[in-house]
């Protein structure tokens, strides 16, 4: 019996060593130390031994049982560790690999330029006044002193909606009327930024849609001098403190007198280059004293009130500043262009 026990002991230990997975190990446990396992079956044979042999056999079988239990626990720990290891290796993350680059978003160059313009005008006490993109013919043209059949209408070929007389605005100027009608009789200092739309051939110089920033100041005793001083200050804040400006007489239906403002070329500092066509000057905005008819349409009596207005194109300013030679890049959604700013 003792020999049999020793054999069982040796054999069980050998089997234990061969168990390569926890599943095999569990089967081994059931068959060896389980309730109907080989050790149990041997324990039951104790009855066939003589009374003298029983204590010795009992001790031995307990000892074997304990040793096998301990061996089982060790093997189980080993297998669990190696199985975990294998699992980790299978789904390994190599922490030494460089990470995937996160694309960082940024503001569109037009938005950046707009914000720069807002900040400068805010410093000078001008509020942002938002106005609608869809306008009536009356607001877009007539109230701005451009009646039907006025030749100036040829300057702005527009998009019409299916509702007669309702169009996409061709300039931000209709906002002047909205602002005046809302604020009368208070003095006004606003800028009116927004998208404008024109039915035009798309070329490197002109797009179907573009931003404009309109400005309007209305009050008592506002003169051309105020216009020149304010716009010169804007140009110097935008393009540099030493920047020279000049005003050239022009024509707009909604201002009288009207002018265009040029700044010293920001590329060549006035020496002459292909951007300024070797004149040393680039045009950045149109301006003028608000026409009496427009003041009247906004509710202000031109005998008491006066004002000035101006309009500029942020994309055009960005084009000059960064030497962008094609306006189509702005809405082409090409990352190679957008990521440069």
Query: Rule CB under 5 A: which residues touch Zn ion?
Result: 265, 267-268, 273, 275-276
Nearer to Zn ion, 196 or 265 (CB): 265
Radius of gyration of the chain (CA): 44
Minimum distance, C-beta of residue 325 to Zn ion, in the bound complex (Å): 13
The whole-angstrom separation of Cα 168 and Cα 143 is 16
Minimum distance, C-beta of residue 239 to Zn ion, in the bound complex (Å): 12
Nearer to Zn ion, 124 or 273 (CB): 273
Nearer to Zn ion, 227 or 265 (CB): 265
Minimum distance, C-beta of residue 264 to Zn ion, in the bound complex (Å): 8
Taking the alpha carbons at both ends of the chain, their separation in whole angstroms is 91
The pair of three-digit structure tokens given for residue 81, joined into one six-digit string: 């560790």
The whole-angstrom separation of Cα 190 and Cα 3 is 107
DSSP 241-294: TT--EEEEEEEETTEEEEEEEEEE-TTTTTS--TTTTTSSEEEEEEEEEEPHHH
Nearer to Zn ion, 207 or 262 (CB): 262
Minimum distance, C-beta of residue 319 to Zn ion, in the bound complex (Å): 13
Cβ-closest position to Zn ion: 265
Nearer to Zn ion, 273 or 338 (CB): 273
Minimum distance, C-beta of residue 276 to Zn ion, in the bound complex (Å): 3
- Report which of 70, 61, 92, 97 is spatially closest to residue 16, judged by C-alpha positions: 70
- Report which of 43, 39, 41 is spatially closest to residue 57, judged by C-alpha positions: 43
């Amino acid at each position: 019996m003792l020999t049999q026990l020793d054999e069982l002991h040796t054999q069980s230990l050998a089997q234990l060593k061969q168990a390569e997975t926890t599943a095999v190990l569990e089967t081994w446990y059931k068959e060896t130390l389980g309730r109907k396992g080989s050790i149990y079956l041997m324990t039951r044979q104790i009855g066939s031994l003589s009374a003298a042999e029983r204590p010795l056999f009992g001790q031995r079988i307990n000892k074997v049982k304990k040793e096998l239990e301990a061996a089982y626990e060790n093997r189980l720990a080993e297998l669990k560790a190696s199985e975990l290891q294998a699992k980790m290796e299978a789904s390994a993350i190599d922490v030494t690999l460089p990470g995937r680059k996160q694309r960082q978003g940024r503001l569109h160059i037009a938005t950046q330029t707009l914000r720069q313009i807002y900040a400068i005008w805010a410093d000078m006490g001008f509020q942002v006044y938002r106005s609608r993109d869809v306008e009536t013919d009356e607001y877009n043209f007539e109230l701005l002193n451009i009646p039907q059949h006025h030749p100036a209408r040829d300057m702005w070929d527009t998009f019409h909606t299916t509702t007669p007389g309702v169009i996409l605005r061709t300039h931000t100027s209709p906002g002047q009327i909205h602002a005046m009608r809302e604020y009368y009789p208070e003095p006004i200092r606003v800028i009116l930024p927004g998208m404008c739309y024109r039915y035009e051939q798309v070329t490197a110089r002109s797009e179907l849609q573009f931003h404009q920033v309109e400005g309007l100041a209305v009050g008592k005793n506002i003169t051309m001098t105020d216009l020149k001083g304010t716009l010169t200050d804007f140009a110097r804040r935008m393009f540099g403190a030493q920047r020279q400006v000049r005003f050239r007489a022009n024509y707009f239906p909604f201002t009288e007198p009207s002018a265009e403002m040029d700044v010293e070329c920001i590329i060549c500092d006035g020496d002459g280059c292909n951007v300024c066509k070797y004149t040393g000057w680039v045009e950045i905005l149109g301006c003028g004293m608000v026409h009496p008819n427009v003041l009247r349409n906004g509710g202000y009596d031109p005998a008491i009130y006066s004002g000035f207005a101006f309009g500029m194109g942020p994309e055009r300013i960005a084009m000059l500043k960064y030497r962008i030679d094609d306006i189509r890049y702005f809405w082409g959604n090409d990352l190679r262009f957008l990521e440069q700013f």
